[in-house]
Amino acid sequence: MSKHQGTIALFGTSADPPTCGHQALLEGLLAMFPKVATWASDNPMKRHCAPLENRKALLATLVKAIANPQLELVQELSSPWAITTLKLANTRWPSNELVFVVGSDLAGQIPHWKDARAVLQLARLAIAPRQGWPLQLQQLEALECLGGRIELLPMQIPATSSSEVRSQPKPAQIPAALWPLVLEHNLYGLATSP
Ligand SMILES: Nc1ncnc2c1ncn2[C@@H]1O[C@H](COP(=O)(O)OP(=O)(O)OP(=O)(O)O)[C@@H](O)[C@H]1O
Ligand SMILES: O=C(O)c1ccc[n+]([C@@H]2O[C@H](COP(=O)([O-])O)[C@@H](O)[C@H]2O)c1
């Protein structure tokens, strides 16, 4: 029996915009978990560029392009607060084990999230490696001190970042399937980039 049988991987993202890194992360999760749920959310620690409606549409397009029945956009889970998302997810899937997935750049900030201890109680935490953000022992210890049950995901994800795409056009970091929407709504200045 696979150790992840019955587990649902939860992956929330600002998706401002989704990059090839988000795509690789979702595809990596699909190889490991029987079900993956994703949604676009606002982040209380960030100022977003595109409205949530546009970011949701971009992520929905990426999900459609990945075309795997194990992957679902569950936008109803969207909240700036992980605690709210996890309460909704537990109500929706009361019998499944839940794993909240983040990149290693977020490991250090999770103890400062709203109701961090409760967040770590409601789901296990899976950490995907992000290039340039090596996990530090103190970060893992701080999470474990709060009751975190942590899994490190063996994945290789390209070093893309949404903020890099926003600060300078980086067409190669945008998944091919997103281009029609990006051009239609003239998002991120990419319509006019060379
Ligand atoms: N290239 C990547 N490698 C590993 N993890 C990633 C990568 N891109 C995003 N993530 C993870 O995916 C989740 C959603 O990230 P988000 O949508 O904020 O993208 P981002 O590139 O980090 O955005 P920004 O640059 O605006 O901070 C976070 O948990 C983040 O750590
Ligand atoms: O709960 C919090 O305090 C909190 C603070 C920052 C980020 N989050 C969540 O972290 C996930 C990833 O956010 P982001 O912006 O890195 O894509 C997303 O689901 C956010 O709602 C949650």
Verify whether ligand 2 is closer than 6 Å to residue 81 (CB atom): yes
Measured from CB, residues less than 6 Å from any atom of ligand 1 are 13-16, 21-22, 25, 102-103, 105-106, 128, 130, 157-163
Q: Give me the pLDDT at residue 193, please.
A: 56
- Indicate if ipTM > 0.90: yes
Verify whether ligand 2 is closer than 6 Å to residue 41 (CB atom): yes
Q: Where are the domains of the chain?
A: 2-192
Residue 141 and residue 166 in contact, taking contact as beta carbons nearer than 8 Å: no
Does the pTM surpass 0.80? The reply is yes
Q: Give me the pLDDT at residue 169, please.
A: 82
Q: Give me the pLDDT at residue 125, please.
A: 98
Superfamily per CATH, domain 2-192: HUPs (3.40.50.620)
Question: pLDDT digit string (tens) for 134-158?
Answer: 999 999 999 999 999 999 999 999 9
Verify whether ligand 2 is closer than 6 Å to residue 117 (CB atom): no
Residue 42 and residue 51 in contact, taking contact as beta carbons nearer than 8 Å: no
Kindly report the average pLDDT of the chain as a whole number. Answer: 96
Which residues of the chain are modeled with pLDDT < 50? none
Measured from the alpha carbon of residue 83, the closest ligand is 2
Centre of ligand 1 from the C-alpha of residue 1, in Å: 31
Give the ligand 2 atom nearest the CA of 162.
17
β pairing state of 35-40 and 97-103:
unpaired
Q: Give me the pLDDT at residue 41, please.
A: 98
Query: Distance between CA 47 and CA 149 in Å, rounded?
Result: 30
SS (H, E, C) the chain: CCCCCCEEEEEEECCCCCCHHHHHHHHHHHHHCCEEEEEECCCCCCCCCCCHHHHHHHHHHHHHHHCCCCEEECHHHCCCCHHHHHHHHHHHCCCCEEEEEEEHHHCCCHHHCCCHHHHHHHCEEEEECECCECCCHHHHHHHHHCCCCEEECCCCCCCCCHHHHHHCCCHHHCCHHHHHHHHHCCHHHHHHCC
